[in-house]
Amino acid sequence: MTSAHRALDDIVAFSRKLGERSDLVLHGGGNTSIKATVTDVFGDAADVIYVKGSGWDLATIEAAGFVPLRSDRLAKLLTLDSISDSEMMNELRLASLDSTAPDASVEALLHSFLPATAVLHSHADAIVTLSNLVDGERRVRELYGDRLVVVPYVMPGFDLAKAASELWKAESTPESLGMVLLNHGLFTVGDTAAEAYERHIGLVTEAEHYAASVSGAAPAAAPVDLAVSSLETALTVAGLRTEVSAAAGMPMILRRTTGVDVAAFVGRDDLASIAAQGPLTPEHSIRTKRVPQLGRDVAGYTAAYNSYVAHNTGDRAITPLTPEPRVILDSELGLLTAGRTAKDAAIAADIYRHTIGVIGTATRISEYRALSPADIFDVEYWELEQAKLARESTPLPFRGEVVIVTGAASGIGRACAEAFLAAGAAVIGLDRDPGVADTFSGAAWLGIEVDVTDVDAMRAAVYAGVDCFGGVDMLVMAAGIFAASAPIAELDLSSWRTSMAVNADAAVALLQIAHPFLKLAPDSGRVVLIATKNAAAPGPGAAAYSASKTAAVQLARVAALEWAEDGIRVNMVHPDAVFDTALWTPELIAARAAKYGMSESEYKTRNLLHAEVTSARVASMVQLMCTDVFDCTTGAQVPVDGGSDRIV
């Protein structure tokens, strides 16, 4: 193994150790580097610095996430007096020895000039707490002395790297362990990644102990009991989401977060002034905007945001960002965070909960003081962020929208959930199978174990989904049962009642629960019922299934009539012979095929088109019905059965 390979292994290992602590880095924040010597394509030795690539998360980073940059080219860049950040990023690409590597961190030059093998950078809560105090610089200098070079705030990019390199030359000593960038974070250096990490943790721990030793009493706060999930609370959240989406010009996810820390923060007597200070670091504004909205006046917030943009733009040519709030603080609802995706909303929630913690500690020590609005604006409208905005690809078709899918743990329901997730939707998956919670993963999935015949449990599940995502745009009713086949003369009435309860009664209850939320959907509500070809062509022995499903079809048709005034579309899909569901076991398929004197393959395709109907094909039709292709269609019944001579 070459020294470069060993260096990469070391920096990967200790980057992950740094990244696993949310009090040090959050969601792609922080960056790390290590220097090594490699042999280039000409056989010449080349000094390089492996720097974390943009888009990689320290908690999960791999060797492929580091960019090998020529050290001599980076040193030469720092001799320039000035260069735009876009030009700097281009130069970093030209300095890379690997054309397939990601773009290097914008802070690569900061890593390059430090005279150490390994460099670790975090936005540690404890460090940011001290540096965001009104007397933060004094306290940082007193605590660390000559061990850390203190760099006053400069916007990230070339100017920061230039200023920090000059301060390092002027103020560092042999005892210097790194740098504190005020209102930004901590850099530590070491001969190895392990040494840089140990120093990092040691310095952060010192800051924590210092804060604890000088903290006073908590600020005055009114006792707040945040509203529990209920119809009133859920409708308030959904209404706010509708307003936020209108301000953004697109559907948005709105995540509600409660907890002791949130309740204490929204109950503070000084909430209005402290929340208006701004974020812990200017980079947070990209996720949370500069300040949160207090209360429920979305129109007032958007007007204030537009004024902030107009005041700070000057003669710059910018593309204004959408003006909706990304963080809302409400004395009854708690913390709400908005995002174009469920992941974005979850990240904003994580960031703001850390903000709550830092502000709480800071105000027990001294006075919390964020950067000026002008400084925050410069990062929010950074040329690199503006360029990223210009490059933004076409969003997925259901980005920002929320769908409830019943029967989501298997069969057609699972296929529908998977299809909507892939198309950008947030999915509330309901199923009586306990495994539904883990059927899919990620911020856009909420799987809830629930029996659809338990109306109270269904209601609670919908409210939990609204807490998580902000509302309901679409409802896909896929849950159903097929009772044991029996002629009417021998039909077990309990089996009949169970079929009616699951296939029809539960559909009535869920439509009633979902209706007020579907009315508030930013792009109109949509419902799709997974029905059956038995509604048009019942078979002998299937009375309970055919009758209960036909009842659900009639219910959906009436809903289409009644809900059209609310802009809600209600359509139906009639699948048949979908063999990759729990209804069909290999043994049953084999027995049915033998009964008809067919091979299993022939039996699966015994329709007019000789097509095999799968759950995924049914899900494709369901998804299509929720797009604008069907925006003038309601009450439709579409077969997905390959063509049936009993119906056609």
Among 427, 401, 235, smallest CA distance to 333 is for 235
> Counting beta carbons within 10 angstroms of the beta carbon of residue 437, is it exposed (0 to 12), middle (13 to 18) or buried (19 or more)?
middle
Residue 525: predicted pLDDT: 98
CA distance 415 to 407: 10
With tokens 């975090």, the residue in question is: 122
582 vs 376, more confident? 376
β-strand partners of 120: 32, 188
- In this prediction, residues 404-425 reach a mean pLDDT of 97
- In this prediction, residues 579-587 reach a mean pLDDT of 84
Long-range contacts of 386-395 (CB under 8 A, 24+ apart): 386/318, 386/319, 387/86, 389/319, 389/321, 390/319, 395/250, 395/340, 395/424
Domain 3-214 and domain 231-391, same fold? Reply is: yes
Query: What is each CA distance from 116 to 33, 77, 189, 191, in whole angstroms?
Result: 10, 19, 6, 6
Residue 348 pLDDT greater than 50, yes or no: yes
CA distance 96 to 70: 6
Assign 102 to helix, strand or coil. coil
Residue 453: predicted pLDDT: 96
Residue 2: predicted pLDDT: 54
> Active-site residue 545, yes or no?
yes
SS3 content of the chain, % helix, strand, coil (to 5): 50, 15, 35
| Tens-digit pLDDT profile for residues 537-579 | 888 888 999 999 999 999 999 999 999 999 999 999 999 989 9
Among 581, 575, 619, 627, smallest CA distance to 418 is for 619
How many H helices and E strands in the chain? 24, 18
CATH class of 402-578+615-640: alpha beta
Statement: 231-391 belongs to CATH 3.90.1010.10: no
Among 464, 226, 428, smallest CA distance to 335 is for 226
| Number of Cβ atoms within 10 Å of the Cβ of 306 | 12
Residue 508 pLDDT greater than 70, yes or no: yes
| Tens-digit pLDDT profile for residues 38-48 | 998 888 899 99
- In this prediction, residues 294-308 reach a mean pLDDT of 98
5 vs 141, more confident? 141
- In this prediction, residues 162-187 reach a mean pLDDT of 96
CA distance 197 to 178: 11
| Number of Cβ atoms within 10 Å of the Cβ of 255 | 24
Residue 345 pLDDT greater than 90, yes or no: yes
From first CA to last CA, the distance across the chain in angstroms is 69
With tokens 């920096």, the residue in question is: 11
The contacts of residue 212 (CB under 8 Å, 6+ apart) are none
Residue 339 binned pLDDT confidence (cut-offs 50, 70, 90): very high
Give me the catalytic one of 305, 308, 545, 603. 545
User: At residue 316, what are phi and psi to the nearest 5 degrees?
Assistant: -75, 145
| Tens-digit pLDDT profile for residues 99-144 | 999 999 999 999 999 999 999 999 999 999 999 999 999 999 999 9
- In this prediction, residues 365-388 reach a mean pLDDT of 93
> What is the DSSP pairing of strand 334-339 with strand 402-406?
unpaired
Of these ranges, 1-15, 300-314, 472-486, the one predicted with the greatest mean pLDDT is 300-314
CATH class of 3-214: alpha beta
Residue 445: predicted pLDDT: 98
Residue 218: predicted pLDDT: 76
For the chain, domain boundaries: 3-214, 231-391, 402-578+615-640, 582-612
Residue 1: predicted pLDDT: 38
CA distance 555 to 338: 35
